Structure 1
Amino acid sequence: MNRSSSRVPVLLGFLFCLALLAGCAAKQTHKPLGVTFVPTDGEFIARDGSRLSLGQVMALAADADYVLIGEGHKNPCDHTVQQQIAWALAQGPRPPAIGLEMVAADRQGVLDAFNQGRLGVDDLSGRLDWDERWGYPFELFEPLFHLAKDKHLPVAALNAPPEIVRKVAREGLDSLTDEEQGMIPAYIIRQPAEQEAFLKEVMLGHEGKDAKDPEQVDRFFLVQSLWDTQMAARAVWMRREYRRPVLIIAGAGHVDFGWGIAQRLNVLDRGAAVVSLTPWRGVENFEPGVADAFFYCPNIYTSRMGMTLVEGQGGVTVSEVRRGSRADTAGLRPGDVLEAFQGKRMRSLMDLHKAGQRAHKDDAPLVLTVRRDGEAVRIDLGRLGQGGTK
């Protein structure tokens, strides 16, 4: 047998293997391409998943009557991005008025005094009862007020008074007095049918809520509709009062999919141009229909125990530990990846939240299992209220 003929079986075998590999590759299924690049914190993303520049975002918003920016109220990255957008809009030919979910309409007088220069930024937190009424750190929102002051952008309150919202949640709209009725829209625009499954999921995250109780579900839906109708109605008032486009800052749940504020704007100000931007966390699948554009900001949680956690595609990672804190003493270290909490696998910060609620209810120690250098490490943070808080 010559050399060439001896190679035939080897060659045939090689080609057969290639055919098998090709067949396997053909059978593999890949999820659809979402985001086309690996974003860094604060980068903008188009609906087709490609990278956007700030200039392109401004071009998208150039002719908008309303620009909605969704946020996670405690996420520093979200606040940095919204301040960047507000600054860019302020430099443009149509500087906006700024509408805030964080302030209720019965405190508009305080904001009027601020708009007129009679109050400074340092006065606002106390005069607005910020800590009692809103609760999230004023420092995250403070740069937005400084921008408004420096660029002479009017600021207005969007939300309903919290006392009225709580009363509606307990007893319904019929329980309100005439005076209270006058502080909210006369007609509440109810939620679209496609939003109801999402709202029920949100409801399940509230302790004591029963998503199988029709009365509780309807009351929960009513409160969400009250918020969204109120904020849209106030934004429409702002556009007419200040004769400017309106930049609306609100929780992402009021912005995503156009179900919340935007849906009410389409009813109350027909024909107005509405543009929405919302954070994409990089954990959930990228859904182009959520907003007109996105900005990448991972979920971040800073605990008073002294640890900062970041949620990403690889799970929940410890990004920072404060020296001398409860987390430090317990042995938690930057780079640790959280795998389990209270013995249950943990995939998200919501899993951590739910497990923490159970531990608090059971008066049990907070026990984490983390992955460090390829090994599982047990971290006992003790019971809530003993040497620290959650």
Structure 2
Amino acid sequence: MPASGKQISVVDLIKSSAKRRIVLLGEHHDNMEHHRWQLQMITGLHSLDPQMVLGFEMFPRQVQGVLDEWVAGTLSEEAFLQRVNWDEYWSFDPQLYLPLFHFARMNSIPIYALNVDRTLIREVGRQGWGNVSEERKEGVSEPAAASEGYRQLLANVFMQHGENHAEGSDKELVQKAMAMPGFARFVESQQVWDRAMAQAIAEGARANPDAQFVAVLGSGHMMYDFGVPEQLADLGMPKPYVLIPWDPEFECDYIQKNFADAVIGLKAFRFSEQRGPNDGPRLGVYLDAGENGVVIKDIVPDSVAEGLGLKPGDLIVGMAGSKITEVEQVIDIVKSTHFGTWLPLKVKRADAMLDLVAKFPPQAEQSE
């Protein structure tokens, strides 16, 4: 417990969590141990009080009807994953999450879709929330302004692109990030994302006044009570109980008193074991939004990008035959690429236009 520095048992953690109206369970999306812990928490809370509602970041609200059908038991696993567009929308190995979904169905626990269409978040990052039409906003209300602490945290993410939130942030780099042209839009897109999920949680909690609402979402949306907790407060909801799983390879110095209500230590896994078998390879670049493309800020040593000869300052303008204008496009395309395949890129370097081919190794080679 960061606030007190005390350790408590899992049983006591479940008992204390059961007293809260809203509980947020964090995760690193590709870490199976985090999802096993989530199932343990949900099972324990349900055993104390079966009046429960679940919410998942993994689903956009337009598939709410499909979630209702799943809980009702009318869909097979295959049909469920197809109809929620799992591979397209979330893309992480469904085996990471299916035990949670099956537990909900076995116990007739309502599931709420917390997210919105990804294209909405991209549109906000590109042109700003104020320039998005009302019909495109999916009912999401005006987000509360980001606190200074959250802006600093997001600046660190903006510089590192979320590769490892446990790494410390250099103050000078953070200030540089906050001064970059794309940072304000990045913050705004994150705020809309947080607001959408907080609003779905608030609506679900109000629609089920006698039930506890347990939400499953990435840890970055709840650390230090930023993100979703800030938006819930703006919506007039009680403070959620924030529980974040931790891994031994991350430094504990990062955990301050206000980091979370509880931090759960879990067994460390090799990187290859943390990733699901269907996760794609990695290019190995740090990216930033640029004019007419996506800028490479830095290259990961010994990566596919380094072997390809990509350099900081290169502008990615095309990938797999598609025009590239947003960071999310690069992420989505690489995620959809398979080990052992090739990915054509069009890169602008100074005044030259380069046609390159990224050659991803077999999975066993990149996982080592």
CA offset digits 1:359-384 (Å, max 9, x no partner): 255269xxxxxxxxxxxxxxxxxx96
1:388 aligns with 2:367: no
> How high is the sequence identity, in percent, across the aligned residues?
25
Larger gyration radius, structure 1 or structure 2: 1
Give the TM-score of the pair, scaled to structure 2.
0.69
Of residues 256-265 and 236-245 in structure 1, the stretch that sits farther from structure 2 once superposed is: 236-245
Deviation, 1:245, is: 1.4
Q: Does residue 1:85 correspond to 2:41, yes or no?
A: yes
Structure 2 partner of 1:233: 199
2:154 corresponds to which residue? 199
**Which position in structure 2 is the counterpart of 1:55?**
11
Q: 1:296 is matched by which residue type in structure 2?
A: G
Which gives a bigger RCO, structure 1 or 2 (Cα 8 Å, sep 6+)?
2
Match of 2:125 among 149, 152, 169: 169
Secondary structure in 2 aligned to 1:288? coil
Q: Report the CA distance between 1:94 and its aligned residue.
A: 4.9
Contact kept? 1:47, 1:294, Cα under 8 Å = no
Partner of 1:97, secondary structure, is strand
**How far, CA to CA, are the matches of 2:199 and 2:63 in structure 1?**
16
Give the superposition deviation at 1:213.
4.9
**What aligned pairs does 1:41-190 form with structure 2 within 5 A after superposition?**
47-181=3-137, 183-190=138-145
Gap runs ≥5 in structure 2: 163-175, 276-283, 285-297, 312-356
- Tell me the CA shift for residue 51 of structure 1: 3.0
- How far has the Cα of 1:352 moved from its partner? 9.8
- 8 Å CA contact 1:276, 1:291 repeated in 2: yes
Residue pair 1:121, 1:145 contacting (<8 A) in 2 also: no
Return the alpha-carbon distance in structure 2 between the equivalents of residues 145 and 109 of structure 1.
15
Q: Which runs of 5+ in 1 are unaligned?
A: 1-44, 311-340, 342-350, 365-382
Residue in 2 that maps onto 1:356: 303
Quote the offset at 1:302 in angstroms. Answer: 4.0
Output one character per residue of 1:57-109: Cα deviation in whole Å (capped at 9) or x when no partner.
Answer: 12211221100011000011111101100111111125321100111111112
CA distance in 2, matches of 1:388, 1:237: 45
Secondary structure of the corresponding residue to residue 109 of structure 2 = coil
Counterparts of 1:189 and 1:363, CA distance in 2: 39
1:136 Cα deviation after fit: 1.0
CA shift in 2, pair 1:76/1:255, >3 Å: same
Structure 1 residue 240: Cα displacement: 1.7
Q: TM-score, normalised by structure 1?
A: 0.65
Distance 1:103 1:309 in 2: 22
Aligned residues: 281
The match for 1:294 is: 263
Counterpart residue type for residue 119 of structure 1 = L
